[in-house]
């Protein structure tokens, strides 16, 4: 049974407005096959957490979205506490995880009180790049460190936004089918990357929806430094076929 908890209600940030205006309605669709994503996350978490002795009863899912990571963690035996800023996406999360031992709340992963004694934490799908500043990243990492038990593991994923893309490389097709297509346009904004999502809907009225927001210019090297600065020990950095990078860190003391 999914339980709702009242930790912290996030104000309507630029990122939250973007999700409310456009992305929340097509979020799970944009991920591709949901079950395949769950299976891939389960295999990844097993390979990282089991080998480090981090399998245990409790896990945090930061930026839990529609439940991919929570379901994967549940299959490994965790009771999961999820947090995300999008109420609309969390409605789907509740439906997908209804039979699981999970808690979920609308909140800001940089400032929420997460609790303590967790065996593992995950922050996937470029969620960390949605934070507005490096101070917010540092706050989130300190919160996760405090929430984990000694020996607990943290899996953090991001795309490498440190490389400035130019020309045609600024246009990315996220997904398309007969009903709709989602294209992403990237612009250099110094410390951030300006992201514009363009959704075309066949037969829609209107047929095109556009919304934009900023992502923090993070990458695996800069996040590894931030993790070390938050007293984590980075055990592994892994590049995935999707182009994402996964960092695995442990709270040693």
Per-residue pLDDT for the chain (253 aa), expressed as one digit of tens each? Answer: 444 333 333 344 899 999 999 999 999 999 999 999 999 999 999 999 998 999 889 999 999 999 999 999 999 999 999 999 999 999 999 999 999 989 999 999 999 999 999 999 999 999 999 999 999 999 999 999 999 999 999 999 999 999 999 999 999 999 999 999 999 999 999 999 999 999 999 999 999 999 999 999 999 999 999 999 999 999 999 999 888 999 999 999 9
- Of 84, 74, 225, which is closest to residue 141 (Cα–Cα)? 225
Quote the pTM value: 0.92
Pair of tokens at residue 238: 């892994």
| Cβ proximity of 134 and 34 under 8 Å | no
Roughly what angle, to the nearest 10 degrees, separates helices 220-229 and 134-147? 50
Taking only Cα atoms into account, the Rg of the chain, rounded to an integer number of angstroms, comes to: 17
| Cβ proximity of 120 and 53 under 8 Å | no
Pair of tokens at residue 23: 């992305």
- Of 167, 142, 162, 166, which is closest to residue 154 (Cα–Cα)? 142
């Amino acid at each position: 049974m999914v339980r709702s908890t009242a930790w912290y209600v996030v104000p309507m940030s630029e990122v939250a407005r973007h999700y409310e205006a456009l992305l929340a309605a097509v979020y799970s669709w944009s991920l591709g096959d949901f079950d395949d994503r769950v299976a891939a996350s389960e295999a990844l978490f097993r390979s990282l957490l089991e080998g480090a002795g981090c399998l245990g009863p409790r896990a945090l899912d930061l930026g839990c979205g529609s439940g991919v990571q929570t379901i994967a963690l549940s299959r490994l035996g965790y009771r999961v506490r999820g947090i995300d800023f999008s109420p609309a996406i969390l409605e789907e999360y509740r439906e997908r995880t209804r039979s699981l031992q999970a808690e979920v709340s609308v909140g800001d992963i940089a400032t929420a009180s997460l609790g303590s004694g967790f065996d593992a934490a995950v922050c996937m799908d470029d969620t960390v790049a949605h934070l507005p500043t490096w101070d917010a990243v540092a706050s989130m990492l300190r919160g996760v460190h405090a929430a984990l038990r000694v020996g607990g593991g943290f899996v953090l994923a991001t795309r490498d936004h440190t490389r400035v893309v130019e020309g045609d490389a600024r246009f990315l097709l996220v997904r398309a089918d007969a009903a709709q297509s989602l294209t992403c346009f990237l612009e250099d904004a110094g410390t951030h990357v300006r992201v514009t999502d363009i959704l075309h809907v066949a037969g829609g009225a209107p047929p095109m929806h556009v919304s934009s927001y900023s992502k923090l210019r993070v990458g695996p090297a800069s996040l590894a430094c931030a993790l070390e600065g938050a007293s984590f020990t980075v055990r592994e950095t892994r590049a995935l076929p999707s182009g994402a990078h996964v960092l695995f860190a442990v709270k040693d003391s």
